[in-house]
Amino acid sequence: MSEVVGTPSSGVLASVVRIGRFTAVMYKPHYVLYGVLWVLALEGTAALVSQPDSAWHPTGSTVVRIVVVAFVLLYLRMVDEQKDLDYDRVHNPDRPLVTGAISATELRAAMAVIAIGALTASLTLSVLSALLIAAVLAYGLALWGIERLSATIRTNILANLALTYPVQLLVTAYVVLSPADTGEVRAIWKTAAVALIFAGAFLHFEFARKTSRAPRTDEHFYSNALGATGSIAFGLLCATIATATDITLVQPWTYTPGVAWIPLALLVLPVWGAVKFVRGGEPDYPVLPAVLFILTLYIALIVQAFALT
C-alpha cells in the first residue's frame, strides 16, 4: 500500500497548492477590485451614454463578465510571468517562477483551465462574447511569441507599449460589445468612444509607475525614452483625455445632480502627483495619486451610471 504515496493525484494537489500560492503572491486583492470596478464602470458608462433614458443596473450577465475578466487578468499575469522571466531574473529575483516556487508547466496548465472556463462562461452570454474573450486569450499568447522573436519589442518600452496595450482594448471591447450583443447596451458611436475614458485612465497610471528623474537605463521606464518631463506630460494628457471624454459624452450640464461633474474634479489628483514629483526630492514619480485617480474615477463612473439613468 506504500505505493499510494506520490501518486499522480498527490502531484496534482501539490500543483494546485503552488498555483494558489502564486495567485496569492502575484494577483493581489486590489487586482480583483480593479477588475470589478473596470467592468461595472465600463458597462454602466456605456449604458448611460447610449441609452440615458433607460435605467442601468448590474445583471447576472454583468456578474459573469466580472468573473471572466477577473480570471482573464490572472491568465495575462501568468503569461507575463513567463515572457518576462529573463528580465525578472535580474530585476525581480523573488518572483515565483524565478525562485522555482512554481513551474512553467504548472502555469500553462492553469492558463488552459482558465481559458476553458472563460470561454465556456462567455458562451453562456453569446457567441460574440466567447469570440471576443478568445481574441483576448489569443492576443496574450501572441504577445509572448512576438516578444521572444523581437529584441526591439523586448527592449524598447514605447514599441512594447504599442504592441501590448491593445490587449486592454480587447478586454474593453469584450465588456462593451458583450452587453450590446445581449441587449443591455445600445451599439452606437458613443458606446465605442467610452473606451477613451478607460484608455486614458489606465495609461496615466501606467506612465506614473514607470517614470523617474534618475537614469534607469537597465529597467523599462518611460522616462528613459521620453525624459521625466515628457513622461509626466504624456501621463497628464492621458488623464485629461479620460475626463474630457467623459464630460463630452455624458454632458453633465444637462443633468441636475452634481455627480456628473465629479470626473472633472478628479483631475486634481494627477495634477497633485505631477506637482509633488516636480517639487519633491524623490527620484521616482509618486504612484499613489495615479492609483487614487483611476480607482476614484471608476467609482465615480459607477455612481454616475446609477444616478443619471
Has residue 131 been placed in a domain? yes
**For residue 6, is it within any domain?**
no
Residue-number span of the structural domain to which 125 is assigned: 11-186
Residues 157 and 25 reside in one and the same domain: yes
Q: Are residues 214 and 230 in the same domain?
A: yes
Q: Say which CATH number the domain at 58 has.
A: 1.10.357.140
Same-domain pairing of 31 and 105: yes
In single-letter form, the type of residue at position 146 comes to I
Render pLDDT for 207-239 as a digit per residue (tens, 0 to 9): 999 999 988 777 889 999 999 999 999 999 999
Q: Tell me, what amino acid is at 120?
A: T
pTM of the entire predicted model: 0.91
Regarding whether 212 and 125 lie in a shared domain, the answer is: no
pLDDT digits (tens, 9 = 90+) for 3-51: 333 445 568 899 999 999 999 999 989 899 999 999 999 999 999 999 9
Q: Are residues 236 and 180 in the same domain?
A: no
What is the number of structural domains in the chain?
Answer: 2
Does 201 lie in the same domain as 135? no
